[in-house]
Amino acid sequence: MDDAMTEGPELSSKHIGRAQGLFGLSSLQDLGMFMLTNFVFKEGKYGGSSLSMLGRNPISEQNREMPIVGGTGVFRFARGFAIANSVNSISTPEHFVVEYNITVSHP
């Protein structure tokens, strides 16, 4: 994947970077996905830095928690977690909107 990362959920929101990575189905029982995502910041005070998320994403649930396992730039040695929520009210078949609330600690 290589998706736009914006300040808000609307497609017209300011672009601040890219969400880049890989994902695939990882469960035979439910809609669990394995995700490796790099949140690459291009603008603002985090421009040139990135956060790395790696883990299982049970996509049919709200408030999905996944670990932040590292980062670059100002996020070097970052650890934390991301809470993902699908924004179904503005998603379309062409644009699936997901909101990530990320909490990290870093030196």
CA distance 61 to 48: 32
Residue 13: domain span: 2-105
Per-residue confidence (pLDDT) for residue 2, from 0 to 100: 96
Q: Which two tokens stand for residue 23?
A: 């994902």
Question: Is there a contact between 86 and 60 (Cβ–Cβ < 8 Å)?
Answer: no
Task: Tell me the pLDDT of the chain averaged across its residues.
Answer: 92
**Burial zone of 40 (CB within 10 Å; 0-12 exposed, 13-18 middle, 19+ buried):** buried
pLDDT digits (tens, 9 = 90+) for 16-51: 999 999 999 988 888 889 999 999 999 889 999 999
pLDDT digits (tens, 9 = 90+) for 45-84: 999 999 999 999 998 899 999 999 999 999 999 999 999 9
How many domains is the chain built from?
A: 1
- Strand partners of residue 68: 53, 80
Q: Which two tokens stand for residue 3?
A: 């998706």
